[in-house]
Structure 1
Amino acid sequence: MTATHDAAGKFDASRAGEYEQQSRIALAGYDACHELAACMLAAALGTGRAARILVAGAGGGAREVVTAAALEPHWRFTAVDPSGPMLALAVARLAESGLDARTEIVRGTVSDLPPDEAFDAATLIGVLHHLAGDDAKRAILQDIARRLRPGAPLILAGNHQAYASQPLLLAAWGERWRQQGAGPEEVEAKRAKILQGADPPHSEQAVADLLREGGFEPPLRFFSSLFWGAWIARRRR
């Protein structure tokens, strides 16, 4: 199994069922990040034109597709995810939104797509920090770059910084759960889980380095929330 498939094993049926609610607690500004991601892509591509968008790690509520499709009616999407339960949830949300006809669903990884694909843009949201080690992170970025047109934009979003290195941010993250009704024991369980269950790039510079090594130009950050950041970067020409 690849590292990406290993990461997908964390997203079983029970986690898929709670994903949409809990992701909005763990990331303050979840919807705003997706809305701005769609706006950044539209600004980079130009509005009102047809485009093919690769959505890597689309499982869950397919929020990337739902939000972007509402802004740009001529975009079509290829949604890729190795987790069956998470992909099933995405398919359900796409059907509810009437977007199943505009979206190709692929259970697998970006590396499973034909190497001669030429997408106009891509998103990788909430994925990179679930991949263990820089090699796996670099590999998925390289796989995406190979399937993008030269100069095409990528939206990359996820946690960065080693959690234990930022105790104030980690404490505030716990307070976010308490703010949403979690008791002390649940807050501690959530904090222990994040410390053991993810491997984010350790700095914003590390994100930029991974993008450069993956075949992208220097990124521009457009959103931040505690450990979370969102950037746009173009595939090198």
Structure 2
Amino acid sequence: MTAAHDAVPHDAAQKFDASRAGEYEQQSRIALAGYDACHELSACMLAAALGSGRAARILVAGAGGGAREIVTAAALEPRWRFTAVDPSEPMLALAVARLEERGLDERTEVVCGTVADLPEGETFDAGTLIGVLHHLPGDEAKRAILSDIAQRLRPGAPLILAGNHHSYASQPLLLAAWGERWRQQGAGPAEVEAKRARILQGADPPHSEQAVADLLRESGFAPPLRFFSSLFWGAWIARRAPGAA
């Protein structure tokens, strides 16, 4: 892998410091209506794609925080093992603590770094990239992480990709509803405005669902299938194209 593939994910991880890591899971449940449902369906989609009850190695990119992808999938499929990768030490520490609480640390290899840091030639039966892509600035960085994942998946292996899409400012009604979601959960007018300003400045999601499909295609994946949606958020499953380099 090239150094360019490493640089941007590490830079993006800097905003997930210890203070933000501590509030991440609680805040995510408000910002994403259906947080648990998305993770549950992601596990179900992987199990359906791989075949339930089979042993499998799952690459979890951006695993920091509450390790919800692993906790949910591990409960459904006891023969799955996981490699959790995240460049943010505070976020990864939260994930490790959760895995230890659930007794899942023995089923999980933890790597503080990026997917590009994994040994070349190591392959996985499936992968997940949940809540990461919209934090990476520009299409080049997005293609880089998707390409790094594709190169470590077996041909035909499924990837769960989930995150925000649409330019936030281009969808004023969705943005207003997102603000109402925070108000619904007890945030006052000043807090709602602060959070709206923060999301407008702090992320760079793909600008459409077609842009998501294009990024996947350019990175070595077959056309995706969307299985979950919530305001700006979408979740898709896509398989590594058999002929991808």
Q: TM-score, normalised by structure 1?
A: 1.00
Q: Distance in 2 between matches of 1:233 and 1:51?
A: 17
Q: Distance in 2 between matches of 1:129 and 1:161?
A: 10
81, 84, 93: which one aligns with 1:79: 84
Q: Distance in 1 between matches of 2:213 and 2:144?
A: 15
Equivalent residue for 1:14?
19
Offset of residue 79 of structure 1: 0.1
* 1:27-72 deviation per Cα after TM superposition (whole angstroms, max 9, x unaligned): 0000000000000000000000100000000000000000000000
Alignment of 1:184 with 2:189, yes or no, is yes
Instruction: Give the letter aligned to residue 216 of structure 1.
Output: F
Q: How many corresponding residue pairs?
A: 237
User: How large is the RMSD of aligned CA atoms in angstroms?
Assistant: 0.5
1:71-150 matches, within 5 Å, as 71-150=76-155
Q: Distance in 2 between matches of 1:131 and 1:7?
A: 6
1:16-31 matches, within 5 Å, as 16-31=21-36
Q: Distance in 1 between matches of 2:120 and 2:52?
A: 27
Q: Distance in 2 between matches of 1:103 and 1:64?
A: 12
204, 208, 219: which one aligns with 1:203: 208
Q: Distance in 2 between matches of 1:120 and 1:211?
A: 18
Q: Sequence identity, in percent?
A: 86
Paired residue secondary structure (1:2): helix
Instruction: Give the letter aligned to residue 142 of structure 2.
Output: K
Q: Distance in 1 between matches of 2:103 and 2:191?
A: 37
219, 222, 225: which one aligns with 1:220: 225
Offset of residue 20 of structure 1: 1.0
Equivalent residue for 2:164?
159
Equivalent residue for 1:52?
57
Q: Which runs of 5+ in 2 are unaligned?
A: 1-5
